[in-house]
Structure 1
Amino acid sequence: MKALVLAGGSGTRMLPLTHTTAKQLVPVANKPVLYFGLEAIAQAGITEVGVIVGDTADEIREAVGDGSKFGLDITYIPQHKPLGLAHAVVIAREFLGDSDFVMYLGDNFIVGGITDLVENFRRERPDAQILLTRVSDPTVFGVAELDGEGRVVSLEEKPTVPRSDLAIVGVYLFTPAVHEAVRAIRPSLRGELEITHALQWLIDERRDVRSTTVPGYWKDTGNVMDMLEVNRLVLETLELRIEGDVDEESQIIGRVRIEEGSRVRRSRIVGPAVIGRSTVISDSYIGAYTSVAEDCRIEHSEIEFSIMLRGSSIVGVGRVEASMIGRNVTVTPAPAVPHAHRLVLGDHSRVQISS
């Protein structure tokens, strides 16, 4: 069995962060989301992995390499334009051959991995297996309709009027039967080859398409609040580990990981929280569910329930919460006079200012 991991796409819901960072490489608990998926695939006993890459191919290649650090053998498959999930299957045909495979969206996060799902699929071998979960707003997902016995009868991509609240999770399992399906469908009104259309084709052809409800927690990390929620969830599993230098005037409370080379001075850190390598924290408060990456600086400030990426600094700011701070960002107070806010913002930025 092989795996096909989708790591292309533009990440428009994460702008402006994804102007400079592949959305699959945005970190939670200081580890890229993509890594969790690759680790889950390796744990399921799959070693041959094709990775679909787009405009951020160089960044993905640099981060993942040949896959050996995950115990995987990686083959990169360029997708020159994001033309849909089914299109990814089309262009991966040579790599996939006649193997069964799991297709994993690289910005999805599933607690508990996929080992049991893969083992069940290998044992029973339906033509396709989809994962479902109940969501509050199914209009932004692919949605499945089940009959009274729980069988999949129809699928629809981002419906205006959903037939159910069962969203399709970004992990699919297929036999080679899907190759006939993706060749049979036509682009949707969005101009994409939709995997829901391919699955519907299999259903209409009376192929064996099964579904199962995700046994654990699932998130499509497509926006900031979802990223913060996944960060919170991962940090819940953290264990206390202090490898950096913490002075006697500082307090470390709960499950906190402070990595090598970091310095904490006259500060209070309440876990779960992680502080990356070579980061300096002084005269500050780091609250629960906060991930601070490497080479950051926080002085005379407070931050909680947030993600702070590499090389950024917060100095002299009263409090920051529920925020995502990109790489090499500087946050400082505005001058006392005149009483005004000075902003330098990129496209698609969002700012909330307390008056």
Structure 2
Amino acid sequence: MKALILSGGKGTRLRPLTYTGAKQLVPVANKPILWYGIEAIVAAGITDIGIIISPETGEEIKAKTGNGDRFGAKITYILQDKPAGLAHAVKVAQPFLEDAPFLMYLGDNLVESDLRLFIEQFKERSLDALTLLCAVPNPSAFGVAKIDEDGRVLQLLEKPKIPPSNLALVGIYLFSNHVHHAIANIQPSPRGELEITDAIQFLIDQPKKVEARQLEGWWLDTGKKDDLLEANRIILDTRLAAAVEGEVDSKSQVIGRVQIGPGSRIVNCTIRGPVTIGNDCYLENCFIGPYSSVANQVTLIDADLEHSVILQGAKIIGIQQRIVDSVVGQRAELKVAPQRPKALRFLIGDDSQIELA
């Protein structure tokens, strides 16, 4: 079995961060979102992985992620020259996939469930498609599956006004090679894309064996700022291991599960976990509250931070009011004059400079 990770797209919901970089490389707990998907796929026993990339961000993804050695996998990069739909991505990847069954994974997803269980069921039941679902409070905002009591998929509906269930399509699928025939027989949707839901519906109508399984635990689509912060919170809560490798002076307090990378210096700070701080950072006179991730080479001086994500090379100086629920892009700079406002909330893109006077 092979895997196909979709890592193209323009990331419009995470702008301005994604004007200058791939949304799948935005870090959650100081690790690119894409890498969590790769690790989950390798843990499930699949090591031959194709990654769909776009012309705009493909080279950055290749440079950052490499050939797969760090994950114990072999990665093949596949260029999709335009965002023409998920089924179009499968069509472009057919020379890589050949006739092998495969798992398709949207690269900005994070799930708690072990994928091995679903792969085993797909194989044991000789299915042509298996879609993973998750109960959501607002199903009309998603693709929704109508299923029977045995888990067979009867119909897929894209953002229905009256949903037949509360089960949303997660963005993780398993397919046999019959999906290629299905894709060859569908037409672009009104938005001009080849939709994977149309291909699955074609399989249902054949009829082929199409079933669904519900995820246990959390599912996170990290396409928006608040979703990214929630993913960061959950990963820090469930997976962070305490490890202090940097230098912490005697005036500082490190409380709870805190990770501090090598080369970082902490001077007269209070850090209350769960918090992760990367390599070669400098923090002085700061309070870093729970659910914060600080990437490599960040400078924080006289800063008060909680439930936020600070990307590589950013500088925050002189902001003593608490910054909360914020994402600060790479190399961004925030400085504040002595007369300060009462509250601050930011979504700041790469290379920005902001001074509050």
CA distance in 1, matches of 2:139, 2:244: 42
Match of 2:26 in 1: 26
Shift of 1:171: 0.7
Q: Distance in 2 between matches of 1:346 and 1:53?
A: 22
240, 258, 261: which one aligns with 2:260: 258
| Structure 2 residue aligned with 1:52 | 52
Asked if the contact 1:157/1:194 (under 8 Å) is kept, the reply is no
Cα pair distance change 1:44/1:148, threshold 3 Å:
closer
- Please name the residue that 1:279 is paired with: 281
Whether the 8 Å contact between 1:239 and 1:256 is mirrored in structure 2 is yes
Letter in 2 for 1:138: P
**Could you report, residue by residue, the CA deviation over 1:56-87 in whole angstroms, capped at 9, with x for unpaired residues?**
00001001111111111111111011100000
Q: Counterpart of 2:330?
A: 327
For 2:275, give the aligned amino acid: A
| 2:202 paired with 1:201 | yes
Alignment of 1:150-299 (within 5 A): 150-236=151-237, 237-299=239-301
Question: 1:2: Cα distance to partner?
Answer: 0.4
- Quote the Cα distance in structure 2 between the aligned partners of 1:48 and 1:66: 11
Give the letter for the 1:8 counterpart: G
Answer whether contact 1:40 1:115 (CA < 8 A) is retained. no
1:191 counterpart letter in structure 2:
G
- Pair 42,148 (structure 1): closer, same or farther in 2 beyond 3 Å: closer
How far has the Cα of 1:148 moved from its partner? Answer: 4.4
Verify the 8 A CA contact 2:28 2:235 in the aligned structure 1.
yes
Deviations 1:3-24 (A, max 9, x none): 0110100111101100011000
Shift in Å, 1:122: 2.2
Alignment partner, residue 132 of structure 2: 131
Alignment deviations for residues 89-146 of structure 1 (CA, whole Å, 9 cap, x no partner): 1111111111000001111001143122222222222110000001122233211112
Q: For each residue in 1:125-173, what CA deviation from the matched residue of structure 2 results, as whole angstroms up to 9, or x when unmatched?
A: 2110000001122233211112344421110223344332210011100
Offset, 1:240: 1.4
Q: For 1:297 and 1:279, how far apart are their aligned partners in 2?
A: 6
* Runs of at least 5 residues in structure 2 that lack an aligned partner in the other structure: none
Corresponding position of 2:148: 147
**2:9 counterpart residue number:** 9
Return the alpha-carbon distance in structure 1 between the equivalents of residues 240 and 150 of structure 2.
Answer: 40
Partners of 2:140 and 2:314 lie apart in 1 by: 36
- Taking structure 2 as the reference length, the TM-score comes to 0.92
Structure 1 runs not aligned, ≥5 long: none
Q: Under a length normalisation based on structure 1, what TM-score does the superposition of the two structures give?
A: 0.93
Give the equivalent residue in structure 1 for 2:314.
Answer: 312
RMSD: 2.0
DSSP-derived class of the 1:145 partner: strand
8 Å contact kept, 1:152–1:211: yes
One-letter amino acid matched to 2:89: A
Letter in 1 for 2:145: A
Q: What is the CA–CA distance in structure 2 between the aligned matches of 1:71 and 1:280, rounded to whole Å? A: 33
Q: Give the stretch that moved more between structures: 230-239 or 168-177.
A: 230-239
Where has structure 1 moved over 3 Å in runs of 4 or more? 334-337
Whole-Å Cα distance in 2 between the matches of residues 114 and 334 of structure 1?
50
C-alpha separation in 2, matches of 1:149 and 1:127: 16
How much identity, in percent, do the aligned residues show?
48
- Residues 312-321 or 157-166, more deviating: 157-166
Indicate the SS of the match to 1:332. Answer: strand
Contact 1:294 1:309 (8 Å CA) reproduced: yes
In 1, Cα distance between equivalents of 2:349 and 2:323: 20
1:104 alignment partner, SS class: strand
Q: Does the 8 Å contact 2:332/2:349 carry over to 1?
A: no
Query: CA offset at residue 231 of structure 1?
Result: 0.7
